[in-house]
Chain A
């Protein structure tokens, strides 16, 4: 900008205004590129989606305003309820990643030789794409030549077709998802354990606290920040469960492993999906569920900021 360095045309009054307000203006200068970007691609689309959810639109022709018809249809849509219930299963069972992650972290929190390599290798699954995890487990679950089939064979049993069985399929996929998620929680706890104050542990030992008691009354309270983050990332992960379903079952058999994230995509953009409006209505519902957690998280952060 030539205004600050200029010596001829810039009126002195303006120059001093700029100078006086530079502390006020500076943050906006720093923020502007990122803010515009974020607004166009993240903030505005949220409202556009909600808007689109009131239309019938095949993504090609004209949008047709239909008011709340999409939502009324949702209420009567079996597939939607299947997906919603599966989302609940995901949320509940995915939470297992937190205690299991903690257990593995406790198991690994030692100083024997080579333990660092062990920790890295245990963390390994998290780094791998969910697409790959999905393919691995699809193959695992194959009743004919997958490992599940072989293990069942040892017992002379007919292996179940996990991914074709409406009662098992969601749990099969969740198990696949837990694998990297546990690794994530584990690393959070390992870091947390590193920062547990030795004094308090010693004090606890002097008080004769051992094992479970020590864990519950002394260690866990100190791991609270780690637990908080672990819960947050696990909830987000559970509600974002798209990749695994797209790879492993595409919501099948007959929609029984669907979740909202995939059902939305299927309705709006897949081979037989022509309903952007209806898809947006599903997305809006998913967004509202997520909003509960977002609000909770922000509220917690707000407490921290003040405190």
Chain B
């Protein structure tokens, strides 16, 4: 505190000495995760960046993730920062189309990202240009209470039938097989995506989110039929529509629920809530249709330069900096996620290791339903998922509605 105070006082003193043009070195960054771990990872990277570039003064705006998602459309047109965090795929499409993100293909070229960040190149590319630099991604899968599995004599399921059997056994023991909180909708999309990826595979996922397959397509109906096998016997916690994903941790922590289809960021929250690494573990979502190549959900987070940014030169420096292998290694070790740069080292945490193994051997990586599908479709789709989880009998009506929305959105 004192140090920053001194520093800013010094900066102020210097700024007042030097004439105006020389002080064009403020770099404003909007970042969207104020939770302790992610915040620390980000701030450490910023500090290192400032140390490497003493002439640049970084100003950080931290916003809550949900708030950031709505705020970005405003600040991109009004008071644009120089760098902002955002998501690739269809989530960046509106801003790319509206010309609000800076084309940084030059940076990809000069920094050799086509090679070092190759794994996410397609997600960062639109109109044959690159629009952002990714710094992390993370696996999804099933997090489970190993102690509860052991106490009930349950093996880690590898197939759909085994998963159903394990669920039945848990239910009988008075434990909800799955916890989930669908108040903010997207969690249900995780379950849907996995059922779809395992039932039909990666291509169907992409075709569906690209609007090439109808929701009433037999293959998609099949996905919902599988889902029904979990919903109808009551394998999800009750009242999930009142809970956020964090609220839904409570039954998991208390031992009232045993599994959670989630992203790896949940591990930090589980540990904070008091679970030890002996109690929690991870397994990839089990196989459903034998022979379908395994694809995973692995959402990527990235940084972008708004086209209205004032200091694009330093913004490019920052983007180049966060792509460096050592920076990504340290950052992702702090937040417990996976680095993008292929020369970076994956942390030795057991979840990161397992996740890396799952993701690096996968046949395809999906961003996530609400990043792969356009926003309007995603919203309607996820509402449909939530409704289905509460009223599975309405499947036909839901699918019909989604078809209608699809017709309009993709035109």
Binding site for B on A (CB under 8 A): 58-61, 73, 76, 78, 141-144, 161, 163-164, 166, 249-250, 252-255, 269-275
Contact = CB atoms under 8 A, between A and B. Distances in A.
A134 B384 CA distance: 25
A250 B99 CA distance: 30
Given A60-B77, A164-B241, A252 B70 contact: no
Given A143-B242, A161-B242, A252-B183, A271 B69 contact: yes
B95 A271 contact: no
Given A78-B401, A272-B378, A274-B376, A253 B98 contact: no
Interface residues of B, number: 36
A59 B94 CA distance: 10
Contacts of A76: 404
Contacts of B277: none
B100 interface: yes
Contacts of B95: 60
Contacts of A161: 238-239, 241-242
Contact of B383 (A73, A141, A254, A271): A254
Contacts of A166: 390-391
Residue in A59, A142, A252 whose Cβ sees the most chain B Cβ within 10 Å? A252
Interface string B300-329: 000000000000000000000000000000
B6 to A, nearest CB: 39
Contacts of B250: 144
A249 B70 CA distance: 17
A270 B70 contact: yes
A273 B238 CA distance: 29
Given A161-B241, A254-B383, 5 more contacts: A60-B97, A60-B98, A164-B241, A252-B383, A271-B379
Given A59-B73, A271-B70, A164 B240 contact: yes
A271 B66 contact: yes
Interface in B360-410: 370, 375-376, 378-379, 383-384, 386-387, 390-391, 401, 404, 408
Residue in B97, B100, B238 whose Cβ sees the most chain A Cβ within 10 Å? B238
Contacts of A250: 183-184
Contacts of A253: 182, 241, 386-387, 390
A249 B185 CA distance: 11
A15 B379 CA distance: 66
Contacts of B408: 73
A270 B239 CA distance: 24
B310 to A, nearest CB: 19
